[in-house]
Structure 1
Amino acid sequence: MKIKEGFDAASVGMTLSLGLLIPIEKMSGDSYHKVNLAQDFSKIWPDMVVVEAPRFFANATYLGKHRFEICQYVDSAYRKRVRGQLSASGIAILDQPPSTVTEAGTTDLRYDNENPLDNHHANAAYGKLVLEQMTAYAASR
């Protein structure tokens, strides 16, 4: 199954389940309720902003051999779908600080959580950058 131009999951011996991609298209799972909540809040606070979550880390334990491109694709599709839903509701999005994103599209390992068992959360240095970004956004309003 080709999932994007230039990447063929079969060529690297991978099977990509439609069960993984269909929830992204239908906005099911955790994002569905979060987007709905943000949309509801935006009716009360029209100048609402959502902070983009950090991208995955290249050293995440769930990244096995030949899975990087699949994780990138799924992450990109998920972000695009969530951004589209938020933007359609007039909700602003603060992008992940550009200095924290590598050329490969992952979050720079300098911002990885200190806990080696935590594959998802960034560290305090990342939080500081996001807080500065939020403060600048609020000051500009």
Structure 2
Amino acid sequence: MFQKILVAYDGSPSSEVALGQGAELARLGRSELHLFGVIVSTGGMAIGQAAGAEDVLGREGNAIRSSLDAVAGTLHAEGLRVVTQTAEGSPAEEIARYALQTGADLLVIGHIPHFSLGHWLQGSVAKALLRELPCSILVAKER
């Protein structure tokens, strides 16, 4: 049914749930699984803050890439076709860009409980993705 499944992954508990459900769908459908991480850029920071921000972004980027590579290695050993990619920028924009670029049939994102600030931020990301993407979107919730 789905040829290319894209999982938005950042190592958080909600993205782990998305990963589990996306991987299971990829197994069932013999689909290619794309794991995509976004390093959230700082936007309009003052020049004096930028040097410190670059260090933080570099560490965050390395952590996300290492996590993606580890997860991909495990899934590849289980027989899945896995592609990893990262980008720096706005999560909604970068996820949409990558989904369109790869022709993803399904995007899987994690669900953040309604009582957190992350829910509000993620809600705006999910709404933007619903507007921008032609593919189906699965919001994975912990069972």
Q: Pick 1 or 2: higher relative contact order, CA cutoff 8 A, min separation 6.
A: 2
Higher strand share: 2
**What band does the TM-score fall into relative to the shorter chain?**
0.3 to 0.5
Larger Cα Rg: Structure 1 or Structure 2?
1
Task: Give the structure-1-normalised TM-score.
Answer: 0.43
